[in-house]
């Protein structure tokens, strides 16, 4: 038996937990363009290190990406664990940790990193959302905008 997790946009996947309480330890990512970026990040229990599922399709609700994997322990169901929201960089001033909601404060944070790359002192790789091209640009802004007001307001 296989499980498939599909996406109509990008989301961050921390881990996959089975109905018996064990965590998935391996999977076979799709070899297509819309894929999980770093499969090693979803091994074992949640640790806040996330893999990106979904690709560079930004218009409407098009199908964007998937992963598939075998059922390791005859699970009857799975729980997909996401611990972060794409575009949630921080909370209000004085709160450097993400607050679970993509809002004005995140937009300010993102804007301060506009057109930066790793050679800039204010570079933050979390703002390189669309492609890991080491540059914060228009394509990253599209991903950020698609996630606007995702999450629960604090």
Please report the pLDDT score of residue 39 as a whole number. 47
* pTM, entire model: 0.59
Domain locations in the chain? 2-81, 88-154
Instruction: Give which of 86, 19, 81, 3 is closest to 45, Cα–Cα.
Output: 81
Average pLDDT over residues 46-64: 56
Place of tokens 């802004």: 141
Q: What is the pLDDT of residue 120?
A: 97
Q: Is the pLDDT of residue 49 over 90?
A: no
CATH of 88-154, one of 1.20.58.480, 2.70.70.10, 2.60.40.4130, 3.40.50.720: 2.60.40.4130
Tell me the C-alpha distance between 148 and 103, whole Å. 6
């Amino acid at each position: 038996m296989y499980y498939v997790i599909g996406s109509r946009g990008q989301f961050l996947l921390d881990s996959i937990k089975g109905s018996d309480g064990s965590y998935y330890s391996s999977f076979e990512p799709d070899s297509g363009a819309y894929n999980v970026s770093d499969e090693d990040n979803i091994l074992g229990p949640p640790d806040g290190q996330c893999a990106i599922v979904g690709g560079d399709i930004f218009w409407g609700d098009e199908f964007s990406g998937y992963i598939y994997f075998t059922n390791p322990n005859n699970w009857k169901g799975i729980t997909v664990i996401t611990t972060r929201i794409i575009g949630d960089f921080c909370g209000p001033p004085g709160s450097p940790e993400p607050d679970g909601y993509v809002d004005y404060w995140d937009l300010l944070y993102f804007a301060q990193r506009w057109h930066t790359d790793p050679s800039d002192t204010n570079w933050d790789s979390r703002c390189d959302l669309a492609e890991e091209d080491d540059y914060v640009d228009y394509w990253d802004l599209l991903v950020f905008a698609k996630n606007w007001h995702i999450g629960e307001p604090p």
